[in-house]
Structure 1
Amino acid sequence: MEMRIDFPGGKRVTSTYKGFTVETDQPKSEGGDDSAPEPYDLFLSSIGTCAGVYIVYFCESRDIPTQDISMTLRFERNETSHLMEKITIEIHLPPAFPDKYRKAVIRAAEMCTVKRTLTHPPEILVTTTGEP
């Protein structure tokens, strides 16, 4: 599997994968144009949307409507290291959501591949190519 990363100018960086291009930028305070989300914002979004799709799968398999379900992702960042110390996903279920599935929908969200990857992080290697 391979993803292409390009640098179209300024502080913008894009990734292209499976025919989709994802744009990122930095805020004006960091020298960017604030034209797209920061890469870290997309990282946080990927956690929430990944958990969300597992909730969709869970509900669809039980014919539970999802239009009144939402989630809030909250995070606490260490001001010194700038790394996340805690991420909380709160699932907002409508009153009509079946009580017998409330714990199960949490387990479904916890199956998120992004979350599981963070729990068992991969080795990340950075290399260069080309002539010096």
Structure 2
Amino acid sequence: MARATAHIGTTNFATTIKVGERTIISDEPTALGGLDAGPAPYDLLLAALGACTAITLRMYAQRKEWNLTAVDIELHHASQDKRSHITRSIKLSGDLSEEQRARIAEIAERTPVTLTLKNGADIATTVEG
């Protein structure tokens, strides 16, 4: 289970996010009226997908005792026709066979955040005050 809180005051649009004992600042770029004090929300979404993908692939390779020495991921988000599109390019380093690389590509499609994004998520909202 994951938990987070977000707080915004009167400063456009810097938002303080707390996750456990860590604090993250999210903001909008100056071109959108923010102070560019941190990653924008979609940047954080891509960061979550990239981190989940990299961690899952590292865990899988370690469990299989494969020689995966690095994973580099480039992500891009765009909207078209009211639908989000994310492209993810994964570069694998290490002495891996073509079969191992193909299996890692399959695993990338089934990481937890990947599945959440592909399946969508139910969001229940309450408003107080």
Alignment TM-score, normalising by the size of structure 1: 0.81
1:70-85 equivalences under 5 Å are: 70-78=72-80, 81=82, 83-84=83-84
Q: CA deviation at 1:11?
A: 0.7
Query: Which is richer in strand?
Result: 2
How many angstroms apart in 2 are the aligned matches of 1:53 and 1:125? Answer: 28
Percent identity over the alignment is 24
Corresponding position of 1:125 = 124
After superposition, the C-alpha distances for 1:18-71 in whole angstroms (9 at most, x for unaligned) are 211121011111111111110111011211211111111111112334434322
Counterpart of 2:93 in 1: which secondary structure? coil
Q: CA deviation at 1:126?
A: 2.4
After superposition, the C-alpha distances for 1:98-120 in whole angstroms (9 at most, x for unaligned) are 22211110122122111111222
* Unaligned stretches of 5+ residues in structure 2: none
Alignment TM-score, normalising by the size of structure 2: 0.82
Corresponding position of 2:66 = 64
Corresponding position of 1:16 = 18
**Residues 54, 111 of structure 1: 8 Å contact kept:** no
Answer yes or no: is 1:114 the counterpart of 2:92: no
**Residues 24, 36 of structure 1: 8 Å contact kept:** yes
Corresponding position of 1:5 = 6
